Amino acid sequence: MGFDFKALWNNAERIVHACSSAVPTSDNPGVRLGAVIGTLARDGRDKLTIHASPDIASLGLWIEQLIAESTGKEGRGILQVAGETLGAPDSYSNDRQFVYISVGKIDSDTEAKLQALEAAGHPVVRRTLHNTLELGEEFFLWEFATAFAGVVLDINTFDQPNVQESKDNTKALLDQFVKTGKLPTQTEAARVGDMAIYCSDETKAALTAAAGSRSASDALAGIVGAHLARVKAGDYVAMLDYIQETAGHEHIIQAIRTHLRDSFKVATTTGYGPRFLHSTGQLHKGGSDAGVFIQVTFDSTVDVPIPEQPYTYNTLKQAQALGDFASLDKRNRRAIRFHLGKDVKAGLERLLAIVQEAAPIQAGTAR
pLDDT in tens, 198-255: 999 999 999 999 998 778 889 999 999 999 999 999 999 999 999 999 999 999 999 9
Looking at the structure, tell me whether residues 211 and 119 fall in a common domain: no
Q: Is the pTM of this model over 0.85?
A: yes
Tally of CA atoms within 13 A in the half-sphere of 239 that contains its CB: 32
Distances (CA, A) of 200 to 211, 318, 333: 16, 17, 10
Over 50: is that where the pLDDT of 142 sits?
yes
The answer to whether residue 120 is domain-embedded is yes
Over 50: is that where the pLDDT of 367 sits?
no
Q: Categorize the per-residue pLDDT at 165 as very low, low, confident or very high, splitting at 50, 70 and 90.
A: confident
- 14, 125 Cβ separation under 8 angstroms: no
Rounded CA gap, 8 and 54, in Å? Answer: 19
Rounded CA gap, 36 and 40, in Å? Answer: 6
| Cβ count within 10 A of residue 272 | 17
Q: What is the DSSP letter of 132?
A: G
Q: Tally the domains of the chain.
A: 2
The answer to whether residue 363 is domain-embedded is no
Judged by DSSP in three states, 229 sits in coil
> CB-based contacts of 103: which residues, under 8 Å, 6+ apart?
53, 55, 56, 128, 129, 130, 131, 132, 134
Rounded CA gap, 367 and 145, in Å? Answer: 31
Looking at the structure, tell me whether residues 71 and 101 fall in a common domain: yes
Looking at the structure, tell me whether residues 32 and 128 fall in a common domain: yes
Looking at the structure, tell me whether residues 45 and 139 fall in a common domain: yes
Helix (H) or strand (E) holding 309: none
User: What does the DSSP assignment read for 239-307?
Assistant: EEE-S---HHHHHHHHHHHHHHHHHH--EEEEEETTGGGGTHHHHHHHS-S-EEEEEEE---S---BPT
Rounded CA gap, 95 and 78, in Å? Answer: 11
Q: Categorize the per-residue pLDDT at 2 as very low, low, confident or very high, splitting at 50, 70 and 90.
A: confident
| Cβ count within 10 A of residue 2 | 4
Percentage helix, strand, coil, to 5, in the chain?
A: 50, 15, 30
The whole-chain average pLDDT of the chain stands at 94
Judged by DSSP in three states, 6 sits in helix
- 243, 340 Cβ separation under 8 angstroms: yes
What is the predicted pLDDT for the residue at 214? 79
Pick the last residue of a domain from 153, 178, 201: 153
Q: Categorize the per-residue pLDDT at 43 as very low, low, confident or very high, splitting at 50, 70 and 90.
A: very high
Looking at the structure, tell me whether residues 245 and 273 fall in a common domain: yes
| Closest to 340 (Cα-Cα) out of 177, 191, 129 | 191
Q: What percent of the chain has pLDDT over 90?
A: 91
Judged by DSSP in three states, 45 sits in coil
Looking at the structure, tell me whether residues 51 and 173 fall in a common domain: no
Task: Tell how strand 96-103 and strand 47-52 pair up.
Answer: parallel
Instruction: Name the maximum alpha-carbon separation found in the chain.
Output: 65
Over 50: is that where the pLDDT of 366 sits?
no
Q: What percent of the chain has pLDDT over 70?
A: 99
Range of 231's domain?
Answer: 161-358
- 207, 223 Cβ separation under 8 angstroms: yes
> CB-based contacts of 109: which residues, under 8 Å, 6+ apart?
none
Q: How large is the average pLDDT for residues 296-315?
A: 95
What is the predicted pLDDT for the residue at 363? 59
Q: What is the DSSP letter of 56?
A: G
Looking at the structure, tell me whether residues 122 and 48 fall in a common domain: yes
Task: Tell how strand 267-272 and strand 334-339 pair up.
Answer: unpaired
Q: Give the CATH number of the domain where residue 27 resides.
A: 3.40.50.10490
| Closest to 92 (Cα-Cα) out of 128, 121, 130 | 121
Looking at the structure, tell me whether residues 306 and 251 fall in a common domain: yes
What is the predicted pLDDT for the residue at 271? 96
Rounded CA gap, 324 and 295, in Å? Answer: 9
The answer to whether residue 367 is domain-embedded is no
Looking at the structure, tell me whether residues 79 and 190 fall in a common domain: no
